Amino acid sequence: MKSIKKPIVIVGAGFGGLTVASSLKRLNPSLPILVVDSEEKFIFKPLMYEVLSEELSMWETAPEFSNIFSNLGITFLRNSLTKIRFDEKVLEFCDELIISYELVILCTGSVSNSFSVKGVDENCYFFNNLNDLKKLKSFLQKFQNYTTKKNLFVIGAGPSGVEIACKINDIYKNKFVISIVEKSNEILGRNKIFNREEAEKALERRKIKVILNSTVQQISDQKIRILDDSEIKDLDQDVVIWTAGVKPNLSYINEQVTQKDGRIQVNEKLQIENYINSFAIGDIAIIKGMEDLPVTAQIAMQQGNHLAKNIELLFQEKDLLPFDFEDNGEMISLGIGEASISALGVTLSGKLAFEARRLIYASKMPDIIKSLKSTASWLFQKKSTINNLINKKP
Ligand SMILES: Cc1cc2nc3c(=O)[nH]c(=O)nc-3n(C[C@H](O)[C@H](O)[C@H](O)COP(=O)(O)OP(=O)(O)OC[C@H]3O[C@@H](n4cnc5c(N)ncnc54)[C@H](O)[C@@H]3O)c2cc1C
């Protein structure tokens, strides 16, 4: 076994970073691991909708990194990476701190992508991190006392757009006329058919308007301009929430690492090309030959677990193994008390799915907060668990 003096540095402690750190610690407790994140708290993004609706409180979904990592016996540093010098194996941080590493694992996730559409940054709310959540929540609260309905637009009919539209409708009953604007000809284009159909029904029941085949051209403080077929329309808006896309958070990359679609290209062992001691996982990484994988917590966690095993193999001077994605399905929240699940051949919708989703997440949250013992795929438990839930419920 090779011994190392410098630490393994993990930059970004979201789903990928947290998983690789805790798995590595479990596999080899003597390894020196340093985790760095620019934020104070982890955010369990799939449950942000429930924080907005106050079905869950902030503390339940956003534990402090210092608590998580002290429980795991891993050193945590709050700092923001600004530059990497791959050849020298050196990281530079925003306060001029410099750290040398033995191995580096990059997992800095995504930020919202406004695609340079005019007025988006200035006039839209986003829903990608804790700050976005707090900002949107406090802004929407002022509409509680309004008596006339306001126009709320959600841009993008992916999971985030559909989930947030349903949730806001249920929280702020009769306060908003909600419309989702989508540039393609369907909602949830990359999701499971069952979830798409359930989402369509959920939107219809709530009278949420879906404007398909429409591209947002510009957003001002009162109007939203969309191009629908060949016609330009200026619509009155009171609130616009932009969920149309994300881009990898890679502001610190200024060297010639191979990138594809703006993401760092890694080989199937999750190594960055030309830098075998450097790895990238989660939303920032694209695996050569597996370019179609979506950016999800499920994938970030599977990659985290896989990478921990590969690093252990590296120290044993054995060959690293290729990553293989196991599709454990997906869960979508559809308003207060409703959800849709399509996982491992099982489909569930409505209140039962909401309860199953809540139990699946709830059963895993304490692991994150207390010790992260189980970093296996806790987004989706195995079919047997879901079957048990079905059998228990009326
Ligand atoms: C509202 C919402 C709902 C979602 N729902 C689901 C779902 O139901 N199922 C699912 O599978 N996926 C879901 N996702 C997607 C999922 O959350 C992401 O794919 C996942 O978080 C990616 O993991 P990651 O480790 O790559 O990045 P993240 O989890 O985003 O973590 C990145 C970390 O890096 C840190 N960081 C960034 N830059 C720096 C820097 N320069 N220096 C130091 N630290 C830095 C950040 O602070 C953050 O903690 C959802 C996303 C959102 C926004």
Q: Which of 45-54, 127-136, 176-185 has the lowest mean pLDDT?
A: 45-54
Position 47 scores a pLDDT of 87
Residue 150 token pair: 């306001």
pLDDT band at residue 176, thresholds of 50, 70 and 90? Answer: very high
In order of their start, the domains of the chain are: 1-38+79-112+247-326 (3.50.50.60), 113-246 (3.50.50.60)
Share of the chain above pLDDT 70, in %: 90
218 lines ligand 1 (CB under 6 A): no
Position 362 scores a pLDDT of 67
Q: Which of 128-137, 230-239, 366-375 has the lowest mean pLDDT?
A: 366-375
Mean pLDDT of the chain: 89
pLDDT band at residue 2, thresholds of 50, 70 and 90? Answer: low
Q: Please spell the DSSP secondary structure of 204-255, one letter per residue.
A: HHTT-EEE-SEEEEEE-SSEEEEEETTEEEEEE-SEEEE-S-EEE--TT--S
For a mutational test of ligand 1's pocket, the pick from 37, 105, 167, i.e. the residue with the most ligand atoms closer than 8 A to its C-beta, is: 37
Which atom of ligand 1 approaches the CA of 283 most closely? 26
Is the pLDDT at 25 greater than 60? The verdict is yes
Position 54 scores a pLDDT of 87
60 lines ligand 1 (CB under 6 A): no
- Alpha carbon of 231 to ligand 1 centroid (Å): 37
7 lines ligand 1 (CB under 6 A): no
What is the Cα–Cα distance from 265 to 261, expressed in whole angstroms?
A: 9
215-251 burial, b if ≥16 CB within 10 A, otherwise e? bbebbeeeebbbeeeeeeeeeebbbbbbbbebbbbbe
Q: Model confidence over 66-114: pLDDT tens digits?
A: 988 998 899 999 999 999 999 999 999 999 999 999 999 999 999 999 9
Q: Model confidence over 260-287: pLDDT tens digits?
A: 889 999 999 999 988 989 999 999 999 9
Scan for tokens 């994938």, then name that residue. 299
Position 363 scores a pLDDT of 64
pLDDT band at residue 258, thresholds of 50, 70 and 90? Answer: confident
Position 62 scores a pLDDT of 85
* Residue 102 backbone phi and psi in degrees, to 5: -85, -50
Is the pLDDT at 138 greater than 90? The verdict is yes
